[in-house]
Amino acid sequence: MKTVLVWMLLISSTSCHTTDVTRPLSTETTSLDVATETTLDDMFTSSPVHLSQRHTTGSVTMTGHTDLDPQKGLHHDNLKGRTSSRSSHLEILPVFFPHVLPGIIQAGIDINSYNVSDDCRVELHHYAVDLQLRKDWAINMYDATGKQGPGLMKGSVTWYGNYDQCINVRHSLTSHGTGSDVMKEIQAQYCSASFDSPGWLEDYIGDQHLPFLVHLPHLTLDICIPSGCLEDDLTTIINTYKNQSQTNISLVRITCLENLKLVDDAAAIFSVCVLVSIAILAFLGSMVTLIVKLTTPKGEATTTTLVGFFSSRGGVFSMARRNSIRFSRWGSTHSKRESNHYRLDSVSSDSPSTVGQPDIGELSTNVTETCFTEGEATHVTSREEGHKNQLQYVDELPVTSTSIRTEHLGRKQNAQAEEAQLKAGRRKLGGVITDVLLCFSFPTNVTSVLGEGNTNLLFCLSGVRFLSISWIVMGNCISFIHKAPDSVENSVTGVELAQSFWFQAVINCTFAADTFFILSGTLLSYTFIRGIEKKTAAGEKFKVTSKFIILFYLHRVIRIWPCYLVVVMIFTNLLPYMGIGPRWQYATTAISQCKDHWWANVFFFSNFYKADEMCMSWTYYLVNDFQFYLISPVILIPLVRLPPLGFTLLVLLVITQVVSVGILNNKINGNMLRMDHGYFSDVYAKPYCRVGVFAIGMMLGYILNKVGRRVYLRKMPLLLGWLTSMCIMTFVVYVTYLENRAGGSDWTARQRALYEALARPAWGLAVAWVIFACCIGQGGYIDKFLSWNFFLPLCRITYGIYLLHPLVIIVVLGETRSPLFLSSLNLWLFYVSILVTATTLALILISCVEQPFIRLEKLIKTIV
């Protein structure tokens, strides 16, 4: 009934405003009389054809003009008393017709009635007068101003203008026009006027029972006005006109885009100098590499094994599974089941392999590590010395103390001659400088990332790593769009997509972060325990000294900091200058948090200091992972010396996560879809709410080291393990459909707390099974897929993708000239473009920053 009444009122209002007006244009107007006001209103409601007629003929006859704005009708025809009884039904209409542009034009004509700056008086008056005279520059400014479009009920509450058209407007005033002897140029600026959203619109969207809240922004209208009018001037003009027209919309703020200049920012200049220095080092290193290559005789050129994109064993589209190390000892007796126990031995059979052997000083297990290597788990037996570099069978005999001691001594003797040449005091300064420059060689580093390496890599983890980062990028694309509804045409539709069954896999992408915690814990415990066992078997006693602890942490910091500091520097100091657009001010808002407390990120405690305003919020994972690394010796040392105590501590960590999440989430009553109301800062980013999954990874690393080489599962246990793992993964990801689907019932606080507390440890156990099954050679087609050569180089740049992809999303959304329309196809195209761009930039970051520091670390160890 209300809808019918509104339409009847609109029809009656239309009939009351049908006029026949023929009025010549005036060249000079100093006050807003009734006739001029009607002409301006006709101008605002005319079609483009009418504007063209006015421009060519100088006058226009309007017949049958329809004015759907009731406030204009009240103003012109004095119908206020007649419509007072219907105000309750008409109060929503000003939402569709905000009085912004008419107020600005009226202020320009009757400028002396407004308390604005002198520059604004002159420029705005000329704009209003020249707009009536149909001057090109004024028409361009008017045309570049945003107009309300369709889709308000779907969340289209931001009405874009034409940014590029606006900022290119220039108009020169003569000295006579400025009232002084100085000529003046009017330049347009792009501003946004934001108004309070009407309560009825929020109620309407809230009544749709969407799976999570829609971030409905303020009603925003983009305005193109002369640059002489400051934000305070516009606020005064709009509020004054609003009071005169009795509009029920409250102005929230005026935001004008600033033309930032990098030369005025000392921090930005410093950041540019750092990046230029890195580029110069990369260039010099490349030149030195070229000179060395040209001056080195062919017979003395060293050869390296190439895998991944440059692999000569089938290329990128082959499965690298045949080159992976398997722990199973059943190869000789179960050749049909374990026919993949072969590898290419890239070194001579009479010298032990020195590739990919982690020692006690190289225990980095963060996301910067390329892939998991196990160079000592097996021994290659050469059938004939002449068959070097041929396909050979892997002897699956257990590793013994004698074999490890022999291998260790052989490796030490083999490297002794080379190390002697690099010792301090025996190396010329020029040689050291050359070696340092070679560490920054871009071609060498790119080759190392894309293909250089040993053939005894555990390839399955490369697939797990890249698929996980791809899942995270997909989820963050949706998350960033959801948090920037003013860049979206239909933000309500984006939330409605979450009601579909298959879309649960997108919105539950946070489980991919738990996969990285599993990988990090696994690699840390395995390499640590394996390195200690090697040294113990070689006759070296393991001691926990201050030097050992310092090197343990220092290696980690060296691996994390270079790329991390560069990205923090770019985000904080350079991102404001990396783009410009209608919504760019929202990108600069996120940057202000980093300018305030970037140091909390650098020293890895940003999840405790102002966690709700965390700089680069996606780095919560890196902060948590480093905090877990800090406490890891307390767990790893008992695992080596007293395994029952170590496992007890790991179980306690899992219990800590379950209890903490259960208690906190029951209080906050939030989940991964509702990051507001303290869930992110109080639950999601806290280490005691995530450490249990990391502990499960450490358990897996210990098991792989101790029993992985002696395990072979029969069909029933193997099938049961795979079914359980797949069912757990599917359940924790898609069970949210019961709540998110259309007509679904909301979970209680207890149900949500139970799910949040148990889902992540359950996911961690399921992923741990997948890794374990693939490591023992019983992964089947899943192992074949995860061991695809294509994944190997991509897994080496996942750290760069993780750091950079949010910057790419922010730049794209901030620079958009028109709102993004959400649909399944558009979201997919948006995601693919972000992933490809982030991957390309990550390759540059890893090759120019991370790889040089890895090589420098090894060079320093060799020299010192």
Strand partners, 194: 220, 253
Query: Model confidence over 777-804: pLDDT tens digits?
Result: 888 889 889 888 888 889 999 999 999 9
Given a cut of 80, whether residue 669 has pLDDT beyond it is no
Question: Element (H or E) spanning 256, and its range?
Answer: strand 251-256
pLDDT of residue 245: 67
Strands 391-395 and 379-380, by their bridges, are antiparallel
424: three-class secondary structure by DSSP:
coil
- Helix, strand, coil percentages, rounded to 5, for the chain: 60, 5, 30
pLDDT tens per residue across span 73-89: 333 333 333 333 333 33
> What is residue 518's predicted lDDT score, i.e. its pLDDT?
95
The DSSP symbol for 452 reads: B
Q: What is the pLDDT of residues 267-303, one digit of tens each?
A: 999 999 999 999 999 999 999 988 888 887 765 555 5
Return d(Cα 387, Cα 348) in angstroms, integer.
9
Q: At what angle do helices 691-707 and 511-537 cross, to 10 degrees?
A: 40
Describe the crossing of helices 620-641 and 511-537 by its angle, rounded to 10 degrees: 30
Q: Are strands 219-226 and 158-159 parallel, antiparallel or unpaired?
A: parallel
Position 15 scores a pLDDT of: 38
CA distance to 111, 261, 440, per residue, from 231 (Å) = 16, 20, 49
Cα Rg for the chain, rounded, in angstroms?
A: 34
Which residues neighbour 197 within 8 Å (Cβ) at sequence distance 6 or greater? 157, 216, 217, 218, 219
Q: Where are the alpha helices (DSSP H) in 538-583?
A: 546-569
Query: For 342-373, how does the pLDDT look when each residue is reduced to its tens digit (9 = 90+)?
Result: 232 332 333 322 323 333 233 333 433 333 33
For range 251-271, the mean pLDDT: 86
pLDDT of the residue at 83: 35
**Average pLDDT of the chain?**
74
Report DSSP letters for 181-205, one per residue.
Answer: SS-EEEEEEEEEEEEPPPHHHHHHH
Minimum mean pLDDT among 20-29, 606-615, 719-728: which range? 20-29
Encode pLDDT of 643-665 as tens digits: 999 999 999 999 999 999 999 88
What CA–CA distances, in Å, run from 671 to 213, 491, 508, 759?
12, 20, 10, 11
pLDDT for the residue 216: 77
**H or E segment and range at residue 20:** strand 20-22
3 state SS for 289-355: HHHHHHHCCHHHCCCCCECHHHCCCCCCCCEHHHHCCCCCCCCCCCCCCCCCCEEECCCCCCCCCCC
Tell me the pLDDT tens digit for each residue of 745-769.
888 888 888 999 999 999 999 999 9
Tokens of 163: 């940014």
User: Cβ distance 769 to 460 under 8 Å?
Assistant: no
Burial of 213 (0-12, 13-18, 19+ CB in 10 A): middle
